[in-house]
Amino acid sequence: MSLVHTTQLRLNILLERLQGLDFTRANQQPSELGLDAKEVFIPSPSGGKHLRRVLADLDIRPVDSVLDIGCAKGSAMRDLLRQPFARVDGIELSPELAAIARRNFAKLGEARAGVHCADARSFKHYGDYAFFYLYNPFPPAILDQVLQQLVPQTPVGAERIVIYNNPTGHDVMLRHGFHALRRYPDFWGHGIQVYGNRPQSGRLRAA
């Protein structure tokens, strides 16, 4: 990480602390949060200009809602809230992180934001969301279990868009019928992949 980036990060943490917020400060390891490190990747925040670049290409309507699967403290949700979504929700396995996320959005007075403390493998409300965001929250085997829930909950004929940052479960996405629509750069060089449940999507503006 460059000196400029580290300095920016420290500045963000300081500014957030002054506002009583905590989106960016380093998270604990999964084991310190009581989570299984084999099933949960290290919680870290995403968002910023790379995610905003992806969102700028999407046709998001005020009737659409988005779900951040594994939202941690809500960093990416903050950028999602800049879009005209009806709701910006997150699900988070760690009660500790979910509580911090809730506090952040309460402090910001964000009425459109909601955080469920839940396991993505047994979440029953995927059908409510047209858009999903994931920042590499878990290994491919867990993604497979999550998609076994998510895909059948999709109303017949409904279009779904998944924004997957650092898509380590790319093959699993394809196996569950998603199409890789467009890839964008991210800060770390892993890429952000946009998937759709249709081979082409009117929701993704021409490049």
Question: Which residues bind to ligand SAM, rule: CB under 6 A?
Answer: 35, 40-41, 43-47, 68, 70-72, 75-76, 91-94, 97, 119-121, 135-138, 142
The least distance separating ligand SAM from the CB of residue 84, rounded to whole angstroms, comes to 20
In terms of CB distance, is 83 or 198 closer to ligand SAM?
83
Angle at 70 between CA 118 and CA 75, to 5 degrees: 125
Shortest Å distance, C-beta 116 to ligand SAM = 9
The identity of residue 164, as a single letter, is: Y
Task: Find the angle CA(145)-CA(37)-CA(153) to the nearest 5 degrees.
Answer: 20
By the 10 Å C-beta count (0-12 exposed, 13-18 middle, 19+ buried), 156 is classed as exposed
Question: Which C-beta is closer to ligand SAM: that of 51 or that of 181?
Answer: 51
Distances (CA, A) of 205 to 57, 60, 110, 181, 202: 5, 11, 28, 11, 7
Q: Which is nearer to ligand SAM, 138 or 206 (CB)?
A: 138
Least distance (Å) from ligand SAM to the CB of residue 27?
7
Nearer to ligand SAM, 144 or 198 (CB): 144
